[in-house]
Structure 1
Amino acid sequence: MAKVLMKGNEALGEAAVRAGCRFFFGYPITPQNEIPHYLAKRLPEVGGVFVQAESEIAAINMVYGAAGSGARVMTSSSGPGISLKQEGITYIAGAELPCVIVNMQRGGPGLGSIQPAQSDYFQAVKGGGHGDYKLLVLAPATIQEMVDLMGKAFALADEYRNPVMILGDGILGQMMEAVELPSESKMPEIPSKPWATTGAKGRNPNLINSLFLDPSELEKHNLHLQEKYTRMGKEVLWENYKTDDAELVLVGYGSSARVAKAVVDQARRRGLKVGLFRPITLFPFPKQALQEACRQASHVLTVEMSLGQLVEDVRYNLEFKVPVHFYGRVGGMVPTTRAVMEEVERWLNVEQRREDA
């Protein structure tokens, strides 16, 4: 199949259509505006519905309604917009409804900037809203991976009746790469949804709700959700890059991982044993794979566009058995290969090695 050159946001929108998404509700915010702009034209061409809501709050509650009817539905936003959606997201998680949420991260806190960042990691993987709930979180590093993960996101949402977040950033949304799109002639099979509110003629009515006034019933519901989140552990995805003999393992996701991979190649050319571990699922986190990748490492270094969020999960999942260091830039600043290489040299004591030699 021929590849086409597409901007990340537009490729993601087209991938959603080809994954069976027929409803989109959203509100404009940079740097993800090309997603709704693209789908505003594309969805009506396939019999779908696009609505630019009056606010992010309205948009996420429209997602709740469409998901409750059994439709494949998505929304997208960035930073402050995702924050406004949090109440709706926790309602959707509590009601066990499948949907896809895209966050093309930008700098914060507050209104912040329109430049790329990764400072929404905690918000994505720790819940973000109130209550004990989790999202499945997928973190692509290329536009092709964004396309490939979109179909998986909808499939996982349906399988677990749970919101799935694709956590990108402004770089991935705005850059262009050649991608291979799924075939339009091969629509994915959408599973039956006997729980959906499609009208109760001829059957007992379905009730979709996240309200439990009896505390014992709410506890039972929470334990059911937790069991589901535990089952999600089998869905872990990751990439290992030259970690077999690595003395130092870089850990990063998304755009930061692209920088880290370039550093690994530079380091290897200089004879330094450096590798990269890239989590693709941020929740569930690939704990065992991370431990295996770092089995020979004397140091681990996370590379982030934040002030240190991924680093906490890396330390936790390595059970503090390996020193884990952090390097990050914030506010829309992107780590450079030179700066990361300096950190690599620092922790591998390159200067001391030269003196000893």
Structure 2
Amino acid sequence: MEKILLKGNEIIGEAAIRSGCKLFFGYPITPSTEVVEYLSKHLPKSGGTVLQAEDEIGAINMCYGAACTGARVMTASSSPGVSLKQEGISYSAAVGLPMVIVNVNRCGPGLGGLGPAQSDYFQSTRGGGHGDYRTIVLAPSKAQELYDYTMLAFDLADKHRNPVLLLTDGFLGQTMEPIVLKERPEPPVTDRSWVVDGAKGREKRILASYSLTNEIGEVNNLGWEAKYKHIQETEQRWEEFHTEDAEYLIVSYGTTGRIAKSTVLNARKKGIKLGLIRPITLWPFPDQAFAPFKDKIKGIVTVELNTGQMIEDVKLAVECKMPVHLFRRQGGMLPTENEILEYFENTFLSEEV
């Protein structure tokens, strides 16, 4: 297997090409611009097409139209750009269109800044737009995962006929690291009876989300609800790090999940039994990861680059059976492993002395 050095955003582009992505529609916005730049140069070599839309709204609606044909399609943007895409994402979820949406997170609100942030957690995991819908959300923490999870995103989108969001940040997007270019896995065999590809010789197919009666509307919503419940039961993903004998846990994802591993190792050197749960799917949130720890962990610290968003899901996962505290940085600032450990010790160990 080949190993190469690429910038994080370029890794996403390369993985998309190797996943069979044939169409990309987007509008440049830092810190995600290298995704469209890389694909503009390389996707046409694989028989694909890149089109810079007039704006983010145009881009997501182009994705909607292209996805109706069954083609693998992707768009990429950053926070305020993804906000503009929300109506189109809601429509895509309503008619069951597979697509991959990349959000290289800015810190915000408003235009925000270009530093690493996790302030789009609510937008990503709660549906973001109107209506009761969800997007599957994957949160890589290093270069190889940018590659692997981009490939996974396309497969999950096809498997569940649903938009999948890859949530990264400026740190991951701009950092250069070596990756192994794994061979593209065979895409899952999925039902293609819904694809709009010409009606000659068969009945026409219509992909529409409008409910003409309340009765039809309820039936449709119950169908989406059942699909999301199935995804919650089958697609939870997470990583555990030194949790076997842990008395306390850190919960963190993405860039801070990476930093938190060093915090755990430093704590272990001091004899502190600290472990890490790193959610990989932010939706569905990995509630299953916490089941073994509800009655044996003394406390949890969530580490986030926001004012505290994932902490709500952690509290729900542990059913408030233990204290859950938040350590956060904002505005593009990253914490050090020592800052996290100092907060943990001041929060929990000082109470035990």
TM-score, with normalisation over the residues of structure 1? Answer: 0.96
The alignment status of 1:341 with 2:320, answered yes or no, reads no
In structure 1, the residue matched to 2:174 is 174
Distance across 1 between alignment mates of 2:52 and 2:291: 44
The alignment status of 1:73 with 2:73, answered yes or no, reads yes
Equivalent pair of 1:19/1:187 in contact (CA under 8 Å): no
Distance across 1 between alignment mates of 2:151 and 2:269: 37
The alignment's C-alpha RMSD in Å is: 1.4
Deviation digits for residues 157-192 of structure 1, max 9, x if unmatched? 1111100001111111111111011336x7646645
Distance across 2 between alignment mates of 1:271 and 1:2: 40
Distance 1:156 1:223, change over 3 A: same
In structure 1, the residue matched to 2:296 is 296
Distance across 1 between alignment mates of 2:291 and 2:95: 35
Equivalent pair of 1:12/1:146 in contact (CA under 8 Å): yes
Write the mapping of 1:3-42 to structure 2, written as runs, cut at 5 A.
3-42=3-42
Alpha-carbon shift at residue 88 of structure 1 (Å): 0.4
In structure 1, the residue matched to 2:218 is 219
In structure 2, the residue matched to 1:125 is 125
SS at match of 1:85: helix
**Which amino acid in the other structure matches residue 298 of structure 2?**
S
SS at match of 1:314: helix
**Which amino acid in the other structure matches residue 203 of structure 1?**
R
Distance across 2 between alignment mates of 1:306 and 1:152: 27
Identity of aligned residues (%): 51
In structure 1, the residue matched to 2:261 is 261
Write the mapping of 1:77-96 to structure 2, written as runs, cut at 5 A.
77-96=77-96
**Which amino acid in the other structure matches residue 266 of structure 2?**
Q
Equivalent pair of 1:136/1:164 in contact (CA under 8 Å): yes
Deviation digits for residues 70-124 of structure 1, max 9, x if unmatched? 1000101111000000010001001110000011101100011111100000000
SS at match of 2:206: coil
Give the length in aligned residue pairs: 352
**Which amino acid in the other structure matches residue 330 of structure 1?**
Q
**Which amino acid in the other structure matches residue 2 of structure 2?**
A
Distance 1:351 1:217, change over 3 A: closer
Equivalent pair of 2:117/2:332 in contact (CA under 8 Å): yes
**Which amino acid in the other structure matches residue 47 of structure 1?**
G
**Which amino acid in the other structure matches residue 146 of structure 2?**
M
Distance across 2 between alignment mates of 1:134 and 1:69: 22
Q: Unaligned 5+ residue runs, structure 2? A: none
**Which amino acid in the other structure matches residue 62 of structure 1?**
M
**Which amino acid in the other structure matches residue 14 of structure 2?**
E
Equivalent pair of 1:107/1:331 in contact (CA under 8 Å): yes
Distance across 1 between alignment mates of 2:294 and 2:340: 18
In structure 2, the residue matched to 1:107 is 107
In structure 1, the residue matched to 2:183 is 183
In structure 1, the residue matched to 2:275 is 275
Distance across 2 between alignment mates of 1:288 and 1:26: 36
Equivalent pair of 2:158/2:188 in contact (CA under 8 Å): no
Distance across 1 between alignment mates of 2:253 and 2:294: 16
Task: Name whichever of 15-24 and 329-338 sits farther off.
Answer: 329-338
Distance across 2 between alignment mates of 1:148 and 1:309: 26
Deviation digits for residues 8-49 of structure 1, max 9, x if unmatched? 110111001101101000001111110000000111101101
Distance 1:352 1:206, change over 3 A: closer
**Which amino acid in the other structure matches residue 147 of structure 2?**
V
The alignment status of 1:98 with 2:68, answered yes or no, reads no
The alignment status of 1:284 with 2:289, answered yes or no, reads no
Distance across 2 between alignment mates of 1:249 and 1:323: 11
Deviation digits for residues 287-336 of structure 1, max 9, x if unmatched? 12123245421010000001000000000111111110001111111122
Distance across 2 between alignment mates of 1:297 and 1:194: 48
**Which amino acid in the other structure matches residue 275 of structure 2?**
G
Task: Name whichever of 123-132 and 147-156 sits farther off.
Answer: 147-156
Distance across 1 between alignment mates of 2:194 and 2:116: 39
Distance 1:127 1:333, change over 3 A: same
**Which amino acid in the other structure matches residue 132 of structure 2?**
D
TM-score, with normalisation over the residues of structure 2? Answer: 0.97
Equivalent pair of 1:299/1:347 in contact (CA under 8 Å): no
Distance across 1 between alignment mates of 2:124 and 2:48: 28
**Which amino acid in the other structure matches residue 152 of structure 2?**
K
Q: Unaligned 5+ residue runs, structure 1? A: none
SS at match of 2:181: coil
Distance across 1 between alignment mates of 2:166 and 2:320: 28
Deviation digits for residues 226-285 of structure 1, max 9, x if unmatched? 100011021111000011221210000000101111100000011111110001011111
**Which amino acid in the other structure matches residue 306 of structure 2?**
S
Alpha-carbon shift at residue 351 of structure 1 (Å): 8.2
In structure 1, the residue matched to 2:192 is 193
